[in-house]
Amino acid sequence: MLGVAAAAVLALPLAAPVYHVLLMLPFMAYAVILLGLNLLFGYTGLVSFGHALFMGIGAYTGAVLTTHFGVRSLELILLTAAALGALVAAPVGALCVRYVKIYFSMLTLAFGMLFYTFLLKFYRLTGGDEGIRVLRPSLLGFDLEALAKIDYLAGPYYYYSLGVLALAALVMWRIVHSAFGLCLRSIRDNPAKAEALGISIARYRWYAFVISAVYAAAGGALLGPPTGNVDPTLAYWTHSGNIVFMTLLGGFASFFGPVLGAFVFIFLQDTVMSVVPYWRLVFGALLAFLVIFAPGGLMGLFAGRRPGEVSRV
């Protein structure tokens, strides 16, 4: 199954229309973000409504570095975005993980709103509501300015994003299958029991929060170059809501569920928008349907069962 998907994604730029190849770019960026978000959501049992904060940090890192600092290397942009994501997530997470359930979600939402306002008001650095341009990054040291934009995005940038996604998935796979990953699941299932077994819940929740922020920032940095522009809507709370929606759509109980969710979301949104202008109406109905009839998401439908986690989130 995974092999077929990998082969399809590798061959896509050769066979599919450019339009669909370009739609894959935000999908791959979101897939990275969602792998991180689900460490917090599916594996630790904490729902963040503030991860637009970290996507915004990542996206703006790419914009500021390319336009203000003349840094064009995407490797450097990704590493800086990840480092800044971790730097901001460390204190924010330390505070947020002291709370659980709705209080955790609301606190992350609050920090997200703070950052959104910062982006809007600090005009000189952030460009205010118009945002800033993202200049074309170089990939692995190759300056690709000579290529037409479409060829750059549908060729080298596509495979670069795919490489980042593959690496991110591999690292996350190892994290969730490590001793640390097991500790997170024990905390999700029963915090009091985990503590009685000597597991420090605040510490592990904090680790998970910082790791998920690093993923969100790195994925956020990948969102910028395809559009060539970043603006504060990237950091707006509805963007946080979108990634939670993607996670629910794909199914948070499975490792690849959120990745599938991102894929379906991006392509469904595109399809619906081309038919009716009210895509939010359709997606709202879809979300309601999911929560009531398929809380396990698409992966849950494939597996033919309702995950037991649902009632707890």
Partner 1 sequence: MILRAEGVRMFYGDFCALDGVSLAVNAGEFVSIIGPNGAGKSTLINVLTGALRPSAGTIRFKERDISGIGPVRLARLGMARSFQLVQIFPDLTVLETLQVAVVSRLNRGSRLFGGLSRDREVQEGALAIAELFGLAGKAHTPSKHLPQGDKKLLDVASAFGLYPEIILLDEPTSGVSTRDKHAIMEILVSASRQLGIKSIIQVEHDMDIVFGYSDRIIALHQGRVLAGGTPDEIKANEEVVNTVVGRRTVTPDGGG
The site for partner 1, by CB under 8 A, has a size of 29
Q: Which of 194, 235, 249, 290 binds partner 1 (CB under 8 A)?
A: 194
Is there binding between residue 182 and partner 1 (CB under 8 A)? yes
Q: Which residue has the tokens 């200049």?
A: 135
> Using the rule CB under 8 A, is 195 a contact of partner 1?
yes
Of 78 and 175, CB closest to partner 1: 175
Of 66-74, 114-122, 184-192, 283-291, which part binds partner 1 (CB under 8 A)? 184-192
CB of 309 to partner 1, least distance (A): 7
178 binds partner 1 (CB under 8 A): yes
Question: Is-contact 43 185, C-beta < 8 A?
Answer: yes
Determine the residue type at 107: L
- C-alpha 147/C-alpha 127 separation (Å) is 28
Backbone angles phi, psi at 281, to 5 degrees: -65, -45
Question: Is residue 193 near partner 1 by the rule CB under 8 A?
Answer: yes
Burial class (CB in 10 A: 0-12, 13-18, 19+), 103: exposed
How many whole angstroms separate alpha carbon 84 and alpha carbon 93?
Answer: 14
- C-beta separation of 265 from 60 below 8 A: no
Q: Which residues are bridge partners to 230 per DSSP?
A: 132
Site string for partner 1, 137-176 (x = CB under 8 A): ----------------------------------x--xx-
Is there binding between residue 121 and partner 1 (CB under 8 A)? no
Contact 93, 48 (CB under 8 A): no
H or E element, residue 25? helix 18-41
3-state secondary structure of 83: helix
Q: Looking at beta carbons only, is 39 or 63 nearer to partner 1?
A: 39
**Contact between 171 and 212 (Cβ < 8 Å):** no
- Residue 127 identity (one-letter amino acid): G
Of 26, 298, 65, whose CA–CA distance to 165 is shortest? 26
Q: Of the two residues 284 and 308, which places its CB atom closer to partner 1 in the complex? A: 308
Residues within window 59-118 making contact with partner 1, judged by CB under 8 A: none
Q: Which is nearer to partner 1, 190 or 238 (CB)?
A: 190
- The reply to whether 229 sits near partner 1 by the rule CB under 8 A is no
Nearest distance from residue 140's CB to partner 1, in Å?
24
- Among 102, 123, 143, 190, interactor with partner 1 by CB under 8 A: 190
C-alpha torsion sign, points 298, 300, 306, 312: negative
State which of residues 67, 186, 229, 233 lies at the interface with partner 1 (CB under 8 A).
186
Placement of tokens 């000189």 in the chain:
124
Check residue 28 for interaction with partner 1 (CB under 8 A). no
Q: Which is nearer to partner 1, 156 or 191 (CB)?
A: 191
**Does the protein bind partner 1 through residue 304 (CB under 8 A)?**
no
Among residues 144, 131, 120, the alpha carbon closest in space to that of 228 is found at: 131
Q: Binding residue for partner 1 (CB under 8 A) from 2, 146, 192, 275?
A: 192
- Give the whole-angstrom CA distance, residue 172 versus residue 178: 10
How far apart are CB 313 and partner 1 at their closest, in Å?
13
Question: Which CB sits closer to partner 1, 27 or 252?
Answer: 252
Among 67, 227, 309, 313, binds partner 1 (CB under 8 A): 309
Opening angle at CA 285, ends 282 and 288, nearest 5 = 150
State the residues that interact with partner 1 by CB under 8 A.
Answer: 171, 174-175, 177-183, 185-186, 188-190, 192-200, 204, 207, 211, 308-309
